[in-house]
Amino acid sequence: MDIFDKCNKFTQAREAIRAGYYPYFKPIQTAQAPEVRINGERKIVCCSNNYLGLTVDPRVKRACIDAIRKYGTSCTGSRFLSGSLELHERVEQKFAKFIGKESAILFTTGHHSNLGTISALTTKGEVIITDKLDHASIIDGCRLSYAEMVRFKHNDMNDLERVLIRYKDVNKLIVVDGVFSMEGDIINLPEVIRLAKKYNARVMVDDAHSLGVLGKNGKGTAEHFGIDPNDVDIIMVTASKSLASIGGLIAADEKVIHYIKHFARSMIYTASLPPAQVAAIDMSLNIIISEPERRERLWRNVKKMADGFRALGYNIRNSQSAIIPIIIGDETKVLIMWRALYDEGVFCSPVVSPAVPEGESLIRTSYMAIHTDEQLDYVLNAFEKVGKKLGVIPGTYRPKPVKPRMRRFISRMRIGAYKMKMFSKRIAKRYLWFGER
Ligand code: PMP
């Protein structure tokens, strides 16, 4: 027995790579923009979290270059010790003021901020209550904590109340995504807050996909619902989306931030965010505050796509954000559809279990303020063509009979029974015609 046995046995991904159906780790040769080159081919991107398109904004780039000139390339130390710059503090203060909280702290990634904050604030004998579809970094934060984690059904307030009643005499932290990263729907925050008050729980909202997108001023989920930010105990955002950088920010009362600063291991034991990335956040915040027209443009694009997908007959469930999921269900079909779209020049993300519940696989699409109408029309046309071919949406496409050689080839391809059950004989037969493309 060897600890590496599992590595030797893990063959599914290699088989998918060989078969040309591996969607992950695609090296992009250009900047994160609506159009990129991959392997020399032009692709329209509809899987980026660059919602406001600021990764290619000249002002943001210039701010990064200036910061490198002034502060160098790295802080080479933790915020706790030698890695704090005046720039970090400026961004924290600007963010706290913008969001309407007393204080904020900047972590090196959004993932780190959820790990550090949740595990620092909760301990043995306490309970963390999470939505079933919360982001993995929230789950990881719970795993690092000695508190018990209890999940409630997705966005189901009756189920949340059931859990709150069960733990009524225990210290409780409710942690929810503002916008759910795969489904694109919004948490029922007014009801979460009402229940939290009723049962004496604290509330933390992960606004990774809401900052710059939701609310009149882009302040996120609380603003979207007209909720006083002081009613949300902790607001978390990541800088890797609308803020065109990397990093995570936690905003809360000063005493809570002070505590997190001294107990969040994922901040204390890692190097701080490099100067260029802090400067990108700083400039992106300025732009979010001063250019609401970007958000308006984003929403125009999102509406165009949501209407377009619905008109084509796609199920986009309850998408209410810049994330539009195309619900397919079957994992194999999702991967086949991803590949067909990729070949058509559209780069999107296949999402299968465990990122979503089994049988609820989807193609995750998301949009930017800087997508042009032509690019979006191109994407819709590709989805129409591929969706009809695959029978995901109504259409006239009739598969041609498959050549015997191709039939044998597809039947032989078995990618294993575990998560990626691609190309099992049953599934391969169902899509035999696909080899004819
Ligand atoms: N929370 C949510 C809801 C996310 O979607 C993500 C990233 N996709 C994170 C946290 C982690 O953020 P980061 O990429 O900055 O680590």
The mean pLDDT of 112-128, rounded to a whole number, is 98
Q: What's domain 5-30+293-436's superfamily in CATH?
A: Aspartate Aminotransferase, domain 1 (3.90.1150.10)
Q: Which atom of ligand 1 is nearest to the CA of 246?
A: 15
Contact present, 173 and 129 (Cβ < 8 Å) = yes
Q: How far apart are CA 127 and CA 58, in angstroms?
A: 46
Catalytic residue among 172, 209, 333, 421: 209
Average pLDDT over residues 205-218: 98
Cα–ligand 1 centroid distance for 240 (angstroms)? 7
pLDDT tens string 64-73? 999 999 999 9
Q: Angle at CA 300, nearest 5°, toward 298 and 303?
A: 110
Is 181 an annotated catalytic residue? yes
Q: Please, which contacts does 130-136 make with residues 24 or more away whose CB atoms are closer than 8 Å?
A: 130/174, 130/175, 130/176, 131/155, 131/175, 131/176, 131/177, 131/180, 131/187, 133/177, 133/180, 133/182, 133/183, 133/356, 134/175, 134/176, 134/177, 134/180, 134/206, 135/177, 135/181, 135/206, 135/208, 136/355
DSSP character at residue 186: B
- Exactly one of 48, 113, 181, 210 is catalytic; name it: 181
Looking at the CA of residue 239, tell me the nearest atom of ligand 1.
15
* % of residues, the chain, pLDDT over 70: 90
8-state DSSP, 344:
T
- The helix (run of H) or strand (run of E) holding residue 202 is strand 201-206
Instruction: Quote the pLDDT of residue 431.
Output: 39
Mutate to test the pocket of ligand 1, among 49, 111, 179, 356 (most ligand atoms within 8 A of CB): 111
Ligand 1 atom, smallest distance to 112 CA:
16
**What is the residue-averaged pLDDT of the chain?**
92
Measured distance CA(279)–CA(31) in Å, rounded:
18
Residues with CB under 6 A from ligand 1: 109-111, 114, 135, 137, 177, 181, 206, 208-209, 238, 240, 246, 248
Give the span between the Cα atoms of 412 and 15, in whole angstroms: 12
How far, in Å, from the CA of 424 to the mean position of ligand 1?
33
Element (H, E) at 6: helix 5-9
Query: Ligand 1: which of 130, 137, 204, 366 to mutate, judged by most atoms within 8 Å of the beta carbon?
Result: 137
Q: In the prediction, which pLDDT does 405 show?
A: 59
Q: Tens digit of pLDDT for each residue in 303-354?
A: 999 999 999 999 999 999 999 999 999 988 999 999 999 999 999 999 998 8
CA 119 – ligand 1 centroid, Å: 17
Which atom of ligand 1 approaches the CA of 247 most closely? 15
Contact 12, 415 (CB under 8 A): yes
**Where do the CATH 3.90.1150.10 domains begin and end in the chain?**
5-30+293-436
For the chain, where do the domains classified as CATH 3.40.640.10 start and end?
58-290
Mean pLDDT of 162-177: 98
CA of 163 to the centre of ligand 1 (A): 26
What pLDDT digit, counting tens, does each position of 39-88 carry? 999 999 999 999 999 999 999 999 999 999 999 999 999 999 999 999 99
358 pLDDT tier (thresholds 50, 70, 90): confident
Q: Mention every residue, 6+ apart, whose C-beta is less than 8 A from residue 4.
A: none
Distance CA 25, CA 290 (A): 35
User: Is the domain covering 58-290 a CATH 3.40.50.970 domain?
Assistant: no
Q: Which two tokens stand for residue 372?
A: 């042009």
Residue nearest to atom 8 of ligand 1 (CA): 181
Terminal CA-to-CA distance of the chain, rounded, Å?
Answer: 45
111 catalytic, yes or no? no
Q: What are the backbone dihedrals phi and psi of residue 99, each rounded to the nearest 5 degrees, phi first? A: -80, -20
- Is the pLDDT at 413 greater than 60? The verdict is no
Distance 107 CA to ligand 1 centre (A): 12
pLDDT in tens, 9-48: 999 899 989 998 899 999 999 999 999 999 999 999 999 9
